[in-house]
Amino acid sequence: MLKDILAISGQPGLYKLVSNTKNGIIVENLETKKRMPAYATAKVSALEDIAIYTEDGEDKPLGKVLISIREKENGGSAISQKAGNTELKKYFEEVMPEFDQERVYVSDIKKVIQWYNIIQKLEMLDILDKKDDETEEKTETEVKEEVKAEN
């Protein structure tokens, strides 16, 4: 489930939540297994909450984009995020032709590809197929109230 995988602004890689603290959370890097604090001031996002802008205004959830990459690559790794900008945009167009080229920057494409490659390398692609029924049934207000209660 993508809700269990976190991206932290300014920090490379992907993380999982280990525990809550008074000032933030403790996270563990999925690759290195090193733990570190993520303070309340850090921008922490669950991959489930991230979406990619599209030209029709219907933002596409990151999970669906990652599934498209998996299908294109037959479960293998994607292009390197270090490829040239033109090559990255062309690759992303193949995966998601409807993405908004004015609002989705090359840096965003690099992050998506990097995240996919991490998940693929750790053999965690099956999480893309899992759904958390409980979370889907909660309203946005309920989720916000839970977050406030945790802090």
pLDDT of res. 15: 96
In 3-state terms, the chain is what percent helix, strand and coil (to 5)? 45, 20, 35
Parent domain of 25: 1-49
pLDDT of res. 135: 41
Q: Are residues 55 and 41 in the same domain?
A: no
Q: How many residues does the chain have?
A: 151
81-108, pLDDT tens digit by residue?
999 999 999 999 999 999 999 999 999 9
Q: Distance (Å, rounded) from C-alpha 117 to C-alpha 22?
A: 33
Last residue of a domain, one of 16, 32, 49: 49
